Amino acid sequence: MVPDAKHAPLPCPCGGPAYDRCCGRHVGTALPAPDAETLMRSRYSAFVLDRREHLLATWHASTRPAAIEPPPPGLRWLGLEVRQHRLTGPDAAEVEFVARSKLAGRAHRLHERSRFVREQGRWFYLDGELDPPVAG
């Protein structure tokens, strides 16, 4: 029997299992991400789905912008590769990733090492370094 495509679970933009069992548990909900990598994946999914409220809510107050511009028309996110997740302290972590997108027929690659902090049990995006040097 073929599953009904209208009722098939939506895949998660981050590459994980079905969205409602992956990033959907955190995007737009009160359930905090258990670690920095999960938060980063949920933020990628929020970019893909244009859920700017989640991006702002998970951005640390010390570096959070007042608003996030909407994505350019026609932007398509193509995938996420998490290269490394590491704790840098009891309440600090880094996640290195590459996110690929396409706009106006041109491919783009965003390579970032993001820094996260945990406050009162919740992880927040702090800032990131674009095109970080290769660790040696």
Residue ranges of the alpha helices (H) in 27-120? Answer: 36-49, 52-57
Contacts of residue 54, defined as CB under 8 A and 6 or more positions apart, other chains included, come to 26, 27, 28, 42, 43, 46
Is residue 14's pLDDT more than 80? yes
Work out the number of other CB atoms within 10 angstroms of the CB of residue 81.
Answer: 12
Can you give the residue ranges of every domain in the chain? 9-130
pLDDT tens, residue by residue, 24-74: 999 988 899 999 999 999 999 999 999 999 999 999 999 999 999 999 999
For residues 49 and 84, give the distance between their C-alpha atoms in angstroms, rounded to a whole number.
Answer: 24
In this prediction, residue 7 carries a pLDDT of 64
In this prediction, residue 3 carries a pLDDT of 43
- Regarding pTM above 0.85, the answer is yes
Give the position of tokens 């919740």: 122
In this prediction, residue 4 carries a pLDDT of 46
CATH number for the domain formed by residue range(s) 9-130: 3.10.450.50
Give the position of tokens 């370094």: 129
For residues 127 and 112, give the distance between their C-alpha atoms in angstroms, rounded to a whole number.
Answer: 10
For residues 106 and 93, give the distance between their C-alpha atoms in angstroms, rounded to a whole number.
Answer: 32
